[in-house]
């Protein structure tokens, strides 16, 4: 069946499922076997069924589902977001490649680009994603790829994605985007012009804070290269985690639509309050890229961050008074989580680097869940009143 004509809410449920169904099973069984009978049929190595080769029915169904959600030709799942990201980057760069990256990257990606890629003889330059005029000067003969995130963490900035795609197309650079924060419900980068989309499926795609997984989507040609590299590097997803991810994905549209509503309500309520210095949420008119976010995204997402007039002390007080949000550094699940990036995601940076990025000690980041919006907003109101 061709699911591409159906809406995302339908695709998340049905796309990718094997037809005919395996033994009639509506839910794909977990193929918990590391050996599959091989009776000497002719073929190539990748035809051998083996969990590391990403070719169990669990992997194949998820690859097809992720592709259908991202409106891409092909997709695959990986053992973690970082497995997806590092494999895609290595495949895209090749020998001696040079990479352009945005300044604010997910911490693991930042470490990989600045330390590991550099140690392999690959180079990078940081681009200001809001200033397209500054990019051409950084191009080298070896520049192969541009890597950005759909929304930055924790300040939720929206890069000039249109300019990035145009710039890269003119120069035949591969564009890679980490779409974890937006999720395909709010933004489909491949349809927009990006070559490759990567995800930490640990976050929105799975949505239940109970596994670690990654995903890549893009052209069949790119996905084949990435798959072959992944087969060597070994970052394939365990079949039981595949089962959980497939189950989680089915409610992606429902969850993210509710998270869009809940986060916007919370952002508006925080922005109205005295004692709140700033709220970073692309759905607020005061957000510097609000117009762009409105144009690009179908929803503004479930992530926001804010700062209080009282700085660190006030932030600590609010954290101690909140009853619903769990303090935890991850995101994208059904439970509302809150974290102070200065001591979690950005703890590895020096105080100066954090200040330069705008990650103050008192900044709080919220991953808004799917609890009742009234309860979430009410809980923040009582915590801020104390
Ligand atoms: C969590 C995260 C990652 C890393 O994913 P893992 O599943 O933890 O390996 C990458 N990018 C973003 C934006 C993330 O939030």
Q: Which two tokens stand for residue 137?
A: 């000067």
Q: Provide CB contacts within 8 A for 2, sequence distance 6+.
A: none
Residue 236, ligand 1, Cβ within 6 A: no
Confidence at residue 41, expressed as pLDDT on a 0 to 100 scale: 78
Q: Provide CB contacts within 8 A for 108, sequence distance 6+.
A: 81, 82, 85
Q: How far is CA 5 from CA 2, 10, 32, 323, in A?
A: 7, 10, 33, 43
Is 62 within 8 Å of 16 (Cβ atoms)? yes
26-40, 56-70, 174-188, 347-361 — which is least confidently predicted? 347-361
Span(s) in the chain for CATH 3.40.640.10: 3-249
Place of tokens 């009776």: 39
Question: What's the rounded Cα separation, in Å, for the pair 148 and 130?
Answer: 12
Instruction: Choose the residue to mutate in 89, 105, 106 for probing ligand 1, maximizing ligand atoms within 8 Å of C-beta.
Output: 106
- Nearest atom in ligand 1 to 214's CA: 7
Span(s) in the chain for CATH 3.90.1150.10: 253-385
**In the chain, pLDDT over 70 holds for what percent of residues?**
100
d(CA 47, ligand 1 centre) in Å: 30
Closest residue by Cα to residue 203 from 67, 118, 302: 302
Where in the sequence numbering do the catalytic residues fall?
52, 106, 178, 203
- pLDDT of 109-127, one tens digit each? 999 999 999 999 999 999 9
Segments of the chain assigned E as strands: 74-78, 98-102, 123-127, 143-149, 174-178, 196-200, 214-218, 276-280, 303-308, 326-327, 337-339, 364-367
- Read off the pLDDT band of 104 (50, 70, 90): confident
Residue with CA nearest ligand 1 atom 1: 200
Confidence at residue 346, expressed as pLDDT on a 0 to 100 scale: 86
- pLDDT of 44-61, one tens digit each? 776 789 999 999 999 999
Residue 163: how many other CB atoms lie within 10 Å: 15
Residue 186, ligand 1, Cβ within 6 A: no
Instruction: Choose the residue to mutate in 79, 81, 151, 212 for probing ligand 1, maximizing ligand atoms within 8 Å of C-beta.
Output: 81
The arithmetic mean of pLDDT across residues 271-276, rounded, is: 96
d(CA 320, ligand 1 centre) in Å: 27
- Read off the pLDDT band of 266 (50, 70, 90): very high
Residue 65, ligand 1, Cβ within 6 A: no
User: Exposed, middle or buried, 303 (CB in 10 Å: 0-12/13-18/19+)?
Assistant: buried
- pLDDT of 238-255, one tens digit each? 999 999 999 999 999 999
- pLDDT of 125-170, one tens digit each? 999 999 999 999 999 999 999 999 999 999 999 999 999 999 999 9
- Does the pLDDT of residue 386 top 80, yes or no? no
The arithmetic mean of pLDDT across residues 299-326, rounded, is: 97
Confidence at residue 42, expressed as pLDDT on a 0 to 100 scale: 79
Instruction: Choose the residue to mutate in 78, 108, 328 for probing ligand 1, maximizing ligand atoms within 8 Å of C-beta.
Output: 108
Confidence at residue 241, expressed as pLDDT on a 0 to 100 scale: 98
Residue 108, ligand 1, Cβ within 6 A: yes
- Does the pLDDT of residue 22 top 90, yes or no? yes
Confidence at residue 44, expressed as pLDDT on a 0 to 100 scale: 74
The arithmetic mean of pLDDT across residues 98-116, rounded, is: 94
The arithmetic mean of pLDDT across residues 325-346, rounded, is: 94
Q: Provide CB contacts within 8 A for 356, sequence distance 6+.
A: none
Residue 180, ligand 1, Cβ within 6 A: yes
Which listed CATH number (3.90.1150.10, 3.30.365.10, 1.20.1440.120, 2.40.40.20) goes with 253-385?
Answer: 3.90.1150.10
Residue with CA nearest ligand 1 atom 5: 81
Place of tokens 């491949």: 190
Residue 107, ligand 1, Cβ within 6 A: no
Closest residue by Cα to residue 138 from 96, 93, 171: 171
- Does the pLDDT of residue 275 top 90, yes or no? yes
For 256-290, the three-class secondary structure string (H helix, E strand, C coil) is HHHHHHHHHHHHHHHHHCCCEEEEECCCCCCCCCH
Treating both helix axes as pointing N-terminal to C-terminal, what angle do 311-321 and 373-385 enclose, rounded to 10 degrees? 130
User: 38 or 140: whose pLDDT is higher?
Assistant: 140
Confidence at residue 351, expressed as pLDDT on a 0 to 100 scale: 87
Architecture in CATH of 3-249:
3-Layer(aba) Sandwich (3.40)
Confidence at residue 284, expressed as pLDDT on a 0 to 100 scale: 98
Q: Which two tokens stand for residue 43?
A: 């073929």
d(CA 204, ligand 1 centre) in Å: 11
Question: What's the rounded Cα separation, in Å, for the pair 355 and 49?
Answer: 50
d(CA 336, ligand 1 centre) in Å: 17
The arithmetic mean of pLDDT across residues 195-224, rounded, is: 98
Residue 149, ligand 1, Cβ within 6 A: yes
Q: In sequence order, what are the beta bridge partners of 338?
A: 327, 366
Confidence at residue 347, expressed as pLDDT on a 0 to 100 scale: 85
Average per-residue pLDDT for the chain: 96
Confidence at residue 39, expressed as pLDDT on a 0 to 100 scale: 81
Residue 177, ligand 1, Cβ within 6 A: no
Residue 79, ligand 1, Cβ within 6 A: no
Assign 3-state DSSP to the chain and report helix, strand, coil percentages, each to 5.
45, 15, 40
């Amino acid at each position: 069946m061709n699911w591409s004509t159906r809406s995302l809410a339908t695709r998340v449920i049905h796309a990718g499922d094997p037809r005919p169904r395996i033994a009639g099973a509506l839910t794909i069984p977990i193929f918990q076997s590391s050996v599959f009978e091989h009776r000497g049929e002719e073929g190539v190595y990748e035809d051998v069924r083996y969990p590391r080769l990403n070719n169990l029915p669990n992997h194949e169904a998820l690859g097809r589902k992720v592709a259908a959600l991202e409106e891409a030709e092909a997709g695959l799942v990986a053992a973690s977001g970082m497995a997806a990201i590092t494999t895609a980057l290595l495949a895209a760069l090749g020998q001696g490649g040079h990479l352009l990256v945005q300044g604010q990257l997910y911490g693991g990606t930042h470490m990989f680009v600045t330390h590991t890629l550099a140690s392999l003889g690959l180079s990078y330059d940081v681009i200001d994603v809001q200033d397209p005029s500054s990019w051409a000067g950084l191009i080298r003969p070896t520049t192969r790829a541009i890597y950005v995130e759909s929304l930055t963490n924790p300040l939720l900035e929206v890069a000039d994605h249109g300019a990035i795609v145009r710039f890269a197309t003119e120069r035949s650079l591969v564009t890679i985007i980490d779409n974890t924060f937006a999720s395909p419900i709010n933004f489909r980068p491949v349809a927009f012009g990006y070559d490759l989309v990567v995800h930490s499926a640990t976050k929105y795609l799975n949505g239940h804070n109970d596994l670690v997984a990654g995903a890549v989507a893009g052209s069949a040609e790119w996905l084949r290269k990435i798959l072959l590299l992944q087969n060597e590097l070994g970052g394939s997803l365990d079949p039981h985690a595949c089962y959980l991810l497939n189950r989680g994905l089915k409610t992606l549209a429902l969850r993210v639509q509710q998270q869009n509503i809940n986060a916007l309500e919370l952002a508006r309520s925080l922005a109205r309050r005295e004692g709140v210095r700033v709220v970073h949420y692309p759905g607020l008119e005061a957000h510097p890229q609000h117009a762009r976010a409105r144009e690009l995204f179908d929803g503004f997402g479930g992530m926001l961050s804010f700062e209080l007039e009282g700085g660190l002390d006030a932030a600590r007080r609010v954290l101690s008074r909140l009853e619903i949000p769990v303090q935890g550094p991850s995101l994208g699940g059904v439970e509302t989580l809150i974290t102070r990036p200065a001591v979690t995601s950005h703890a590895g940076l020096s105080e100066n680097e954090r200040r330069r990025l705008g990650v103050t000690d008192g900044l709080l980041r919220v991953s808004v869940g799917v609890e009742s919006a009234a309860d979430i907003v009410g809980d923040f109101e009582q915590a801020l009143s104390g």
